[in-house]
């Protein structure tokens, strides 16, 4: 593995890190001029108006590096860049004017269709999920891919409610996807994901809280969460639908367990209560953790550690030939367990208080989070 890592080209990843870091600094006066700020109000309890240009910086940085330095040129990159631009533009409009939810969904569907028809990325086989050699979706391939892409985008948006959380979870997912790509012998996709890891790392330098900086300096905004949702969908589908270097789709579920589980449970609960699934609230997992005494950085670290543990455990289980349907069933059971536990808010908060009592994490509690828009 060390030999493989040494053989990878790190130039584009470092360039994406540098470009994104620089763009975040350059875009600060742009945020002021265009009023691209997240203001404390209602359920948004951060301390001061905060720029939301982190997503734009990541997107532009990745596209810039892709055009100039990276091997992703000419291999569906035009589709990725075009889909990303659609989401970034609509996301920035949403961050500025708080547009209606159906315009966001329309943009997400459009981006998914661009990914399919311009980028050539779609879900065609689900056989490995159920332990079968073949199970072609056929005519259902396009609607399934669109549904899955929109779902992932909104899952990342919904988990973007505490400083550093969405960025760390996406970075951890990209790390594990890269490891899976290397294990499957697909070094090219691993190098491509490293570009995104560089951009997200630069964003986290502005978004995480540190002992010397009590609050985030920058948010990713809806433009950023949509962009990162597209990134996870794009690389998950490219990796699991590659016949030459196959990775089981079940594994990718365990690389993003927190966003998927949190989104699924809340959407089901909102529908059962006859509420719109796009209604914002403070019932997300990270909000319950904050109420239980976790600080934003503590919550981000704990959930990222859980994500890495899930990915490592399931990856080893696959190496030990544990049946893939059993791993899918375990994910469903975990979602059911969280649905039951979070059915009563005080019970979930009490659970996280007990977890906090036995897990010692750095960074004291300071402030709260910022939930997704309704």
Q: Name the E strands within the chain.
A: 37-38, 50-51
Could you tell me the two tokens for 115?
Answer: 């990914």
* Cβ atoms 191, 16 nearer than 8 A: no
Is 154 known as a binding-site position?
Answer: no
CA distance 197 to 232: 11
CA distance 261 to 287: 15
* Cβ atoms 113, 149 nearer than 8 A: no
| Of 154, 172, 118, 143, nearest in space to 303 by CA | 172
DSSP, residue by residue, 329-373? HHHHHHHHHHHHHTTSHHHHHHHHHHHHHH---SS-------PPP
As a three-state string, the secondary structure of 224-289 is HHHHHHHHHHHHHHHHHCCCCCCCCHHHHHCCCHHHHHHHHHHHHHHHHCCCCCCCCCCCCHHHHH
Could you tell me the two tokens for 92?
Answer: 């920035």
* Cβ atoms 105, 90 nearer than 8 A: no
* Cβ atoms 302, 361 nearer than 8 A: yes
* Cβ atoms 48, 219 nearer than 8 A: no
The alpha carbon of residue 1 and the mean position of all alpha carbons in its chain are separated, in whole angstroms, by 26
- Computed on alpha carbons and rounded to an integer, the radius of gyration of the chain in Å comes to 20
Is 9 known as a binding-site position?
Answer: no
Q: Which residues are annotated as a binding site?
A: 157, 222
Q: Which residues are annotated as a binding site for Mg(2+)?
A: 157, 222
């Amino acid at each position: 593995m060390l030999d493989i890592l040494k053989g990878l080209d790190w130039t584009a990843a470092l360039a994406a890190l540098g470009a994104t870091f620089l763009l975040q600094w350059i875009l600060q006066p742009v945020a002021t001029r265009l009023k691209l700020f997240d203001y404390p109000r209602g359920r948004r309890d951060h301390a001061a108006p905060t720029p939301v240009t982190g997503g734009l910086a990541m997107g532009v940085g990745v596209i810039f590096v892709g055009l100039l330095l990276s091997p992703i040129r000419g291999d569906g990159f035009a589709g990725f860049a075009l889909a990303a631009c659609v989401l970034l533009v609509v996301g920035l409009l949403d961050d500025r004017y708080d547009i209606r939810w159906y315009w966001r969904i329309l943009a997400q569907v459009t981006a998914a269709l661009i990914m399919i028809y311009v980028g050539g990325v779609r879900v065609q086989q689900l056989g490995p999920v159920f332990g079968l050699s073949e199970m072609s979706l056929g005519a259902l391939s396009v609607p399934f891919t669109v549904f899955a892409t929109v779902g992932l985008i909104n899952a990342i948006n919904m988990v973007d409610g505490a400083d550093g959380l969405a960025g760390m979870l996406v970075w951890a997912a990209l790390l594990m996807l890269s490891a899976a790509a290397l294990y499957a012998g697909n070094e090219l996709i691993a190098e491509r994901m490293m570009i995104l890891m560089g951009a997200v790392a630069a964003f986290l330098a502005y978004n995480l809280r540190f002992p010397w900086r009590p609050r985030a300096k920058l948010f990713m905004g809806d433009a950023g969460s949509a962009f990162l949702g597209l990134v996870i969908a794009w690389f998950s589908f490219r990796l699991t639908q590659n016949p030459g270097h196959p990775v089981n789709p079940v594994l990718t579920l365990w690389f993003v367990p927190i966003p998927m589980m949190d989104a699924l449970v809340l959407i089901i609960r909102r529908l059962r209560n006859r509420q719109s699934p796009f209604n914002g609230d403070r019932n997300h997992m990270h909000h319950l953790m904050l109420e239980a005494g976790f600080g934003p950085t503590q919550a981000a670290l704990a959930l990222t550690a859980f994500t890495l543990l899930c990915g490592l455990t399931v990856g080893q289980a696959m190496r030990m030939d544990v049946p893939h349907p059993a791993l899918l069933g375990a994910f469903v059971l975990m979602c059911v367990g969280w649905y039951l536990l979070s059915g009563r808010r005080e019970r979930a908060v009490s659970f996280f208080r007990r977890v906090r009592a036995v897990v010692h994490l750095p960074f004291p509690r300071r402030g709260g989070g910022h939930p997704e828009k309704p």
